[in-house]
Amino acid sequence: MTNKSIHIVGAGLVGSLWAYLLKQKGFTVHVFEKRADPRKAAADRGRSINLIVTSRGLDGLKKAGLINSILPTTVPVYGRLMHALDGATQYQAYGRNNSECNYAVSRGDLNKTLIQKCADVGVVFHFEHELSDTDIHSKTLTFANGIQTKYEHAFATDGAGSIIRKKLHVLNPNTYQENVSFISSDYKELYLPPDANGQPVLEKNNLHIWPRGTHMLMALANTDNSFTLTLYLPRTNHPWSFDSIKTKERVHALFKTEFQDVMPLVPNLESQFLENPQGSLGTVRFSQWHLEDSIALMGDAAHAIVPFFGQGMNCGFEDVTNLLEILEASEWNFKKALTLYSQTRIKNANAIAEMALENFVEMSDKVGDKNFLLQKKIESILEKEFPTEYRSRYGMITYTLIPYAKAQEAGLIQARLLADIAKQTPRIEDLDLSFCHNQMKREWIPWLRTQGIQLDRYTV
Ligand SMILES: Cc1cc2nc3c(=O)[nH]c(=O)nc-3n(C[C@H](O)[C@H](O)[C@H](O)COP(=O)(O)OP(=O)(O)OC[C@H]3O[C@@H](n4cnc5c(N)ncnc54)[C@H](O)[C@@H]3O)c2cc1C
């Protein structure tokens, strides 16, 4: 193995983790990245996304032996706190107990740490190398700076706009079907500093959500007690669309009307809003993720998804652990392994893509809906009372390694079960556990059995 050389295009989160793992397996690893070295660039507030790392991401970091370097740079998040228009708040715990939580981390910081770890073990980085073309017959990568290099195995981790994916699609559109769709909302990041004493101005270990139906604001803490706010608004055709908010007065009016309690906490709110970039959110679906033994797509290059389940990077890290497992099981037979990876992984990526789209409605709208909240309360009681028999779809995705497609299937059964129980239990105080268990026996428990899923076995 040691004489083999691997080429990776894109030094984002997924490319860096993959490079690190392959280097540990003895390969010579070259990573080509269009940006300059991010370790040398200054922090860029308003442009740095905060991410939630959950089971699949943690599993990837554990398998690389990096978990102890990363966890101290994260903030544990135990639940979500909804802020209503009148300032009232409502809390929903995420996990079944306090050992289950999500970890918030700055995407930029995580990326820099991973690149540094790679550099420490001898991964060779080629920054300011923007891939402009790939010749799949001569196995050549061509960069915008004129440099060309030959590869034996190339991995495309060049993000949602992947050049390699587009090239495969253009060459063979029937085999490589590409579907890219954007949602009608965009986002902007805003910076919320700590108070004058350096203390956080919101409860630090929660995800804060201000759900407003068609739009919402979210806040996640950083380790220095500041918060990153993410504002999601319709792009156009709405009284509070990004297109309609182009002046300081309109920014002021938006926050005064919709997010009044946050307003005094954000310095230079109007100029931050007007100056920070506006990002779009989309889903990329691609029908085949490999070419023979020579190319494979991973991370957003294969499956960009909207961020409302907090799973884009987590799913990308699972690509990494999954592919490594398959390659090892095949004794590094790349053709066999890449084919199997492509076949097994796509249905899971499509499942999380759909669930992430559904979650936009849940987060922006349903978190204020009484029946939805009742069902969530019932669900959290079921998870506590029947720990080996019931696990919410959210829990399966966030705290286990149960494949996404299975969790999606489970979610459909759970939705029916919770609706039935809620119908019988308009007040949570009247919840009858034996009735709940009987309902579970009808469809849910048989499904678990037929799938061979033992819930407690899957916890990371
Ligand atoms: C607002 C928001 C919130 C999110 N929240 C979460 C979350 O909570 N949890 C989560 O798991 N995910 C989240 N995500 C998704 C997550 O950011 C992505 O899934 C993740 O960054 C994908 O990593 P990647 O390495 O595949 O791609 P990228 O991070 O996009 O990295 C691609 C790399 O390739 C480089 N590149 C691109 N083109 C070329 C080229 N032609 N030549 C050379 N290099 C190139 C880029 O510069 C970049 O370094 C969120 C995304 C957004 C937008």
Q: 225-274, pLDDT tens digit by residue?
A: 999 999 999 999 999 999 999 999 999 999 999 999 999 999 999 999 99
- pLDDT classification of 459: cutoffs 50, 70, 90: low
Q: Helix, strand, coil shares of the chain as percentages rounded to 5?
A: 45, 20, 35
Q: Are residues 335 and 375 in the same domain?
A: no
The CATH number of whichever domain residue 171 belongs to comes to: 3.50.50.60
The whole-number pLDDT of residue 65 equals: 98
Nearest atom, ligand 1, residue 13 CA: 25
CA 271 to CA 286: how far, in whole Å? 39
279, pLDDT greater than 70: yes
Average model confidence (pLDDT) across the chain: 94
Is 430 a domain residue? Answer: yes
Identify which of 376, 397, 378 has the alpha carbon closest to the alpha carbon of residue 437. 378
CA 50 / ligand 1 centre spacing (Å) = 12
SS3 (DSSP) at 199? coil
- pLDDT classification of 367: cutoffs 50, 70, 90: low
Q: How far apart are the first and last CA of the chain?
A: 30
Q: Residue 74 corresponds to which amino acid?
A: T
Is the CB of 368 inside a 6 Å radius of any atom of ligand 1? no
The whole-number pLDDT of residue 243 equals: 98
Name every residue whose Cβ is closer than 8 Å to that of residue 120 and which is 6 or more positions away in sequence: none
Is 222 a domain residue? Answer: no
The whole-number pLDDT of residue 437 equals: 97
CA 159 / ligand 1 centre spacing (Å) = 5
CA 27 to CA 377: how far, in whole Å? 50
The whole-number pLDDT of residue 368 equals: 64
The whole-number pLDDT of residue 94 equals: 86
- pLDDT classification of 48: cutoffs 50, 70, 90: low
Classify each residue of 254-281 as buried b or exposed e, where b means 16 or more C-beta atoms within 10 Å of its C-beta: bbeebbeebeebbeebbebbeebeeeeb
Is 88 a domain residue? Answer: no
179, pLDDT greater than 90: yes
Q: How many domains does the chain have?
A: 2
The whole-number pLDDT of residue 45 equals: 55
Is the CB of 10 inside a 6 Å radius of any atom of ligand 1? yes
Q: Are residues 381 and 426 in the same domain?
A: yes
| CA geometry: angle 186, 188, 189, nearest 5 deg | 150
Can you name the residues that pair with 210 across neighbouring β-strands? 217
Q: Are residues 292 and 428 in the same domain?
A: no
Q: Are residues 299 and 406 in the same domain?
A: no
- pLDDT classification of 64: cutoffs 50, 70, 90: very high
The residue whose CA has the least distance to atom 31 of ligand 1 is: 12
Which of 51, 109, 162 has most ligand 1 atoms within 8 Å of CB, for mutation? 51
Is 376 a domain residue? Answer: yes
CB atoms within 10 A of CB 372: 15
Which of 306, 333, 360 terminates a domain? The answer is 360
E strands, 272-325, where?
A: 279-286, 290-291, 295-297
Is the CB of 258 inside a 6 Å radius of any atom of ligand 1? no
195, pLDDT greater than 90: yes
Is 420 a domain residue? Answer: yes
Q: Are residues 22 and 127 in the same domain?
A: yes
CB atoms within 10 A of CB 58: 21
Which of 307, 326, 360 terminates a domain? The answer is 360
366, pLDDT greater than 70: no
460, pLDDT greater than 60: no
46, pLDDT greater than 60: no
SS3 (DSSP) at 31? strand
Average pLDDT over residues 219-227: 95
The answer to whether 401 touches 55, Cβ cutoff 8 Å, is: yes
Which of 320, 338, 360 terminates a domain? The answer is 360
Model-level pTM? 0.96
The whole-number pLDDT of residue 457 equals: 66
Average pLDDT over residues 161-181: 97
What whole-number percentage of the chain has pLDDT above 90?
A: 86
The whole-number pLDDT of residue 363 equals: 73
Is 196 a domain residue? Answer: no
360, pLDDT greater than 90: no
324, pLDDT greater than 60: yes
308, pLDDT greater than 60: yes
Is 48 a domain residue? Answer: no
Structural domain for 400, as ranges? 369-458
DSSP 8-state code for residue 459: B
The whole-number pLDDT of residue 95 equals: 81
The beta-carbon contacts of 362-366 under 8 Å, at least 24 apart in sequence, are 362/308, 363/209, 363/211, 363/216, 363/218, 363/308, 364/211, 364/212, 364/213, 364/214, 364/215, 364/216, 364/232, 365/211, 365/213, 365/214
Average pLDDT over residues 423-428: 90
3, pLDDT greater than 90: no
Identify which of 190, 228, 224, 194 has the alpha carbon closest to the alpha carbon of residue 208. 228
The answer to whether 192 touches 179, Cβ cutoff 8 Å, is: no
The whole-number pLDDT of residue 92 equals: 85
Q: Are residues 297 and 346 in the same domain?
A: yes
Q: Are residues 26 and 118 in the same domain?
A: yes
Is the CB of 187 inside a 6 Å radius of any atom of ligand 1? yes
* Bridging pattern class, strands 178-192 and 206-211: unpaired
Q: Are residues 451 and 307 in the same domain?
A: no
Q: Are residues 35 and 146 in the same domain?
A: yes
Is 237 a domain residue? Answer: no
What would you report as the CA-atom Rg of the chain, rounded to the nearest whole angstrom? 23
Is the CB of 105 inside a 6 Å radius of any atom of ligand 1? no
Q: Are residues 453 and 392 in the same domain?
A: yes
Q: Are residues 24 and 114 in the same domain?
A: yes
Q: Are residues 305 and 427 in the same domain?
A: no
